[in-house]
A and B are shown apart, each in its own frame.
Chain A
Amino acid sequence: MTDNGKNEQTAKKYEKYVKKVTPTHSLPLNMAKAFLVGGLICVLGQYILNTAETMGLGQEEAGSWCSLILIFLSVLLTGLNVYPKLAKFAGAGTLVPITGFANSVAAPAIEYQKEGQVFGIGCKIFTIAGPVILYGVLSSWILGVVYYVMQLWR
């Protein structure tokens, strides 16, 4: 009945047709949800930061405490299976803040714990976060070089 999709043109045509009949999430609604939840997480972070500062910590130290507490909350909620439900609602609103990164590390740790401390957790804990770490380090290194060169020119 077909050329089995080998023909690139028919493949493209089919892909276009599939796209047309496949329902998608409403983008404005998803953006609103992400804005709301992501915003709330950031408000919480700001609250922690301000509280820490009023308690007499310096800006840098207060910032560390803020990250630490947000990460702790995210890992706790991941363990209690609340974070995935929150993420289903909020999408990028929970993915982009530091809490999303913490979730992406905690989740594999829970899943692969059964495969052992070394080959399970050890090897697989960064399966999702790994690329972020690798390319995060790489891009900061590149920017470091750029910054260094700019310093020389001054």
Chain B
Amino acid sequence: MNERKGHQSISFGEEVYIISGASVVGKKEGEGPLGPCFDEVEKDPLAGAKTWEQAESTLQHRAAVRAIEKAGIKNTDLRMIFAGDLLAQCTASAYNLAQLDVPVYGLFGACSTMGEALSLAAMAVAGGFGEYVMALTSSHFASAEKEFRFPLAYGSQRPLSASWTVTGSGACVLAGEKSGARITGITTGKIVDFGLKDSLNMGACMAPAACDTICTNLQDFSRQPEDYDKIITGDLGSVGQQILFDLLEKQGYDIQRQHLDCGMLIFDDAVQDTHAGGSGCGCSAAVFTAYVLPKIVSGEWKRVLFLPTGALMSKVSFAEGQTVPGIAQAVVVEHVPQEN
């Protein structure tokens, strides 16, 4: 039976499985340490489209189609899709999803959107509201730079704490039918604002939210960090990781042995000059589907806490001198042994 845990978590009694995951990324991501893991590496930054926004839509579409194919279903089998991206009014998702002809919920959770999408999709399946439900997100370096920062050709120096928005998309199909990875619980994140205003140090803005969600998850499920093989944040980067360790230490938790960060996995800063790491809701989605999910399915990792992190600022809030609040949405994914 499904059960509410604490104030923010749900334990799924009904069986919810991730039956397929697919990822499509850009050239730079393909050249990174996880290059061979991705389903597709698109060499053309515009992906054959005319604009960055259309390019992002195209990547998202390809990830969705691949996930549908891998699940062995048709797009009409999907009861609903939870999708989102970083652009204003979810531009990339809207124009991709128009082609798919499937009912849709559009989401915005900044870079945490994959955690949000997986949580909602899992609830939909566990509640019996959909046989097949998709979680889907994307980001694109160029469209994000244009949306939040400067035109690409503008010459400026990025601070060392800055992250590099991942060009890519990841899609998961969730269903009640058995597979090697099961979502057993979620912890919904609260918005945590420590008053930072530096949007070029997003790791520091999001680390308090990640700390909050991790602590809440451990308390709600009465677990210790050791109960997870891996605790994987979305895009804290190297600066955010250090802050997360320090903040958790104050709460009496040490996750240094379990912790991985999708943003630090996807790029090699020493070679690729990405500074703190990758970011964007395509970052956690692509790393989860290409790297994390296969390791759970194979049984290398038995139980993983996956929590994409988001910095909830906009161009307007930045211009008006507002702080950058953070959020982290956690999903517990467990290995399911294959029965022969």
A residues neighboring B (CB under 8 Å): 1-2, 4-6, 8, 10-12, 14-15, 17-18, 21-25, 30, 78-79, 81, 83-84, 86-88, 91, 94-95, 100, 103-104, 106-108, 110-112, 114, 127-128
Whether B157 and A87, one on each chain, are in contact in the complex, defined by CB atoms closer than 8 angstroms, is: yes
The list of the 3 closest CB pairs from A to B, nearest first, reads A87-B155, A11-B195, A111-B151
Give the residues in chain A near B195, CB-CB below 8 Å: 5, 8, 10-12, 14-15
Whether A104 and B154, one on each chain, are in contact in the complex, defined by CB atoms closer than 8 angstroms, is: yes
Flag whether B90 is at the interface (Cβ < 8 A).
Answer: no
Whether A88 and B153, one on each chain, are in contact in the complex, defined by CB atoms closer than 8 angstroms, is: no
Give the residues in chain B near A112, CB-CB below 8 Å: 151
Which of B151, B155, B193 touches A88 (beta carbons < 8 Å)? B155
Nearest residue (CB) in A for B273 is A88
Residues 243-273 of B, flagged 1 when their CB comes within 8 A of A and 0 if not, give: 1001000010000000000000000000000
Whether B154 and A84, one on each chain, are in contact in the complex, defined by CB atoms closer than 8 angstroms, is: yes
Flag whether B57 is at the interface (Cβ < 8 A).
Answer: no
Whether A84 and B153, one on each chain, are in contact in the complex, defined by CB atoms closer than 8 angstroms, is: yes
The CA of A21 and the CA of B330, in the complex, are separated in Å by: 26
Whether A83 and B146, one on each chain, are in contact in the complex, defined by CB atoms closer than 8 angstroms, is: no
The CA of A39 and the CA of B23, in the complex, are separated in Å by: 47
Whether A107 and B159, one on each chain, are in contact in the complex, defined by CB atoms closer than 8 angstroms, is: no
Which of B150, B158, B215 touches A107 (beta carbons < 8 Å)? B150
Which of A10, A79, A127, A128 touches B194 (beta carbons < 8 Å)? A10
Give the residues in chain B near A25, CB-CB below 8 Å: 157, 159-160
Question: 5 A-B contacts, Cβ less than 8 Å apart?
Answer: A18-B243, A22-B239, A83-B153, A84-B155, A84-B156
Residues 197-212 of B, flagged 1 when their CB comes within 8 A of A and 0 if not, give: 0100100100010011
Residues 124-165 of B, flagged 1 when their CB comes within 8 A of A and 0 if not, give: 000000000000000000000010001111111111110000
Q: Chain B at the A interface: mostly helix, strand, loop or mixed?
A: loop
Whether A5 and B153, one on each chain, are in contact in the complex, defined by CB atoms closer than 8 angstroms, is: no
The CA of A120 and the CA of B97, in the complex, are separated in Å by: 26
The CA of A86 and the CA of B153, in the complex, are separated in Å by: 11
Give the residues in chain B near A15, CB-CB below 8 Å: 195-196
Whether A94 and B239, one on each chain, are in contact in the complex, defined by CB atoms closer than 8 angstroms, is: no
Give the residues in chain B near A95, CB-CB below 8 Å: 155-156
Whether B160 and A108, one on each chain, are in contact in the complex, defined by CB atoms closer than 8 angstroms, is: no
Give the residues in chain A near B155, CB-CB below 8 Å: 78, 83-84, 86-88, 94-95, 100, 103, 107
Q: Chain A at the B interface: mostly helix, strand, loop or mixed?
A: helix
B residues neighboring A (CB under 8 Å): 50-51, 146, 150-161, 192-196, 198, 201, 204, 208, 211-212, 215, 239, 242-243, 246, 251, 323
The CA of A3 and the CA of B211, in the complex, are separated in Å by: 14
Nearest residue (CB) in B for A23 is B160
Give the residues in chain B near A100, CB-CB below 8 Å: 155
The CA of A111 and the CA of B147, in the complex, are separated in Å by: 11
Q: A21-B242, A88-B155, A107-B154 known; A14 and B196 CB under 8 Å?
A: yes
- Besides A12-B195, A21-B246, 20 other CB < 8 A contacts? A1-B212, A2-B192, A5-B208, A6-B193, A10-B194, A14-B194, A17-B243, A18-B201, A22-B204, A23-B239, A24-B159, A25-B157, A83-B155, A94-B155, A100-B155, A103-B153, A103-B155, A111-B153, A112-B151, A128-B150
Which of A23, A111, A128 touches B146 (beta carbons < 8 Å)? A111
Q: A1-B251, A2-B208 known; A78 and B196 CB under 8 Å?
A: no
Give the residues in chain B near A8, CB-CB below 8 Å: 195
Nearest residue (CB) in A for B204 is A18
Most chain B C-beta atoms within 10 Å of own C-beta, residue among A6, A95, A104 = A104
Give the residues in chain A near B157, CB-CB below 8 Å: 25, 30, 87-88, 91
